[in-house]
Amino acid sequence: MLHNGAAFFPALIAAIDAARVEIYLETYIFAADATADSVQQALTRAAQRGVTVRVITDWLGSGRVRSLSLQQEFEASGVMYRAFNPWFRRGVARMHRKMCVVDRHISFVGGLNIIDDMVSDDDLRLPLPAPRWDFAVSISGPLVATIHLELEAQWLRLGEMKLLARLQQFKRSRIRRPGDAHGPALAGLVLRDNLRNRRTIQRAYLQALGHARQSALLTSPYFAPGRKLRRGLEEAARRGVEVTLLLGVGHYRLQDAVSQSYYPKLMKAGVKIVEYRKTTLHAKVAVVDEHWATVGSSNFDGLSLLVNQEANVVIRDADFSRALRQQIEIGIADGDAVAVDAFDNLSWQARAWHGTAFFLYRLLMRVITIGNRE
């Protein structure tokens, strides 16, 4: 487990500097700051010593101007670069994943973009009061081959592929390669896309909640789940499972109102809600009971669960789950618990604002998820 950029970026750069053959790196945001420059320089050093380096960023996430500068800078240094879905040519879906594979030996999956922990991802001129709160995992062993296969496939899809080649690549991607279960932990890559894995991440959460017996801690910066996931949270709480949501607030006013519109019904079912304001909460992690955990890029909202490309790792391991639980509990202690009766006596203006935000959100999701709803 890698908590925040203080652990993630040194591990990532060390792996890149040790690369001898090949690097794939995929991120939603590749910023223009000191931390991103250090990663970019490491990738350049690798390319200059003969390593094949391929980088994918999201065109919207990194921005049009930044994507263009990355293309020019990377190509000048020998790094191959592709932007995902420029000018929305392939619809509204974004590539929101954050993954890297080095020499098919070590990989990284999580929620951290290539951006400094101490600056806002909305405006690099705005410092954060504390490091952005986020997680990633470094992975070795059989699962790396699966992650490499997905990154390689993504690179090929973004290039010029003929129809027959695309069909063949799709068939290969459907083959499930068994891994060695005799390692220190059992883990799997869980993807979401609009072709073969449309509900996979949501299904993983629902299965974990359905089997929960004692507790479920779930963390997300954006919270606007569909009916099925809300029902899964409520049913687990009614069974006596201690369900706690740690949610980021203060980033977008409209998003906060949408999230809060769900609070009353969830809390009535017994779900505990804690709002985190210490700094930007960007983590998309969860721990259920003592053995199931996930770390990745998928938020609990319609964009992540129904539109964007996302990647999580699900881990079945008591030690890892315990360590992640401790970190989430620290976040809960730093947050503000929402009182059960906090929304009982809201003013009509606040109720109208929540209702309007919910209506606008649902309208937007109905438009952009036509043919891909729950």
pLDDT surpasses 60 at 53: yes
| pLDDT beyond 60 at 164 | no
- What phi and psi values does residue 214 have, to the nearest 5 degrees? -120, -55
**Considering 140, 171, 202, which residue would you say is the last residue of a domain?**
171
Q: Is the pLDDT of residue 294 over 60?
A: yes
**SS3 state of residue 301:** strand
* pLDDT tens per residue, range 228-255: 999 999 999 999 999 999 999 988 888 9
Q: Count CB-CB contacts under 10 A for residue 373.
A: 11
Reference 57, options 74, 33, 41; nearest CA is 74
Query: pTM of the entire structure?
Result: 0.91
Are residues 245 and 165 both part of a single domain? no
In a domain, 373, yes or no: no
- Among 143, 171, 199, which residue terminates a domain? 171
Mean pLDDT value of segment 215-223: 97
Total structural domains within the chain: 2
What's the pLDDT at 171?
54
Please tell me the least confidently modeled range out of 10-24, 194-208, 210-224, 357-371. 357-371
Summary mean pLDDT of the chain: 91
Are residues 158 and 219 located together in one domain of the fold? no
For 76-93, write each residue's pLDDT tens digit. 999 999 999 999 998 899
Instruction: Give the residue carrying structure tokens 């203060």.
Output: 250
C-alpha 317/C-alpha 289 separation (Å) is: 11
134 and 214 in a common domain: no
Contact 111, 27 (CB under 8 A): no
Q: What is the Cα gyration radius of the chain?
A: 20
Distances 111 to 82, 134, 239, 298 between C-alpha atoms, Å: 20, 6, 31, 8
Confidence of residue 179 (pLDDT cuts 50, 70, 90): very low
Using the predicted structure, report yes or no on whether residue 365 has a pLDDT greater than 90: no
- Is 37 part of a structural domain of the chain? yes
Residue 180, domain member (yes or no): no
- Mean pLDDT for 262-274 is 96
Provide the CATH number for the domain around residue 38: 3.30.870.10
Integer CA distances (angstroms), 107 to 2, 23, 245, 291, 354, in order:
12, 10, 28, 22, 41
Same domain, 165 and 196: no
Residue 225 domain flag: yes
**More reliable by pLDDT, 258 or 176:** 258
Catalytic residue numbers?
A: 96, 98, 103, 282, 284, 289
> Which domain, by its residues, includes 150?
2-171
Q: Terminus-to-terminus CA distance in the chain, angstroms?
A: 32
pLDDT of 313-330, one tens digit each? 999 999 999 999 999 999
Looking at the structure, do residues 154 and 298 belong to the same domain, yes or no? no
Backbone φ, ψ for residue 213 (5° rounding):
-125, -30
What pLDDT is attached to residue 126? Answer: 83
Which among 114, 142, 171 is the end of a domain?
A: 171
| Torsion angles phi and psi, residue 287, rounded to 5 | -135, 130
154: tokens are 């993504």
Asked if residue 247 and residue 111 are part of one domain, the reply reads: no
Cα distance between residue 266 and residue 340, in whole Å = 10
Pair (263, 340) in one structural domain: yes
CA distance 279 to 202: 27
Residue 181, in any domain of the structure: no
Residue with tokens 């999956």: 109
Which residue from 136, 173, 180 is spatially nearest to 152, judged by alpha carbons? 173
CA distance 190 to 178: 14
- Measured distance CA(239)–CA(151) in Å, rounded: 40
Asked if 20 and 166 sit in the same domain, the reply is yes
Instruction: Answer yes or no: do 151 and 258 share one domain.
Output: no
235 belongs to a structural domain: yes
Does a structural domain hold residue 250? Answer: yes
Residues 47, 112, single domain; the answer is yes
In the three-class reduction of DSSP (H, G, I as helix; E, B as strand; rest coil), residue 373 is classed as coil
Do residues 85 and 62 lie in contact, with contact meaning Cβ atoms separated by under 8 Å? no
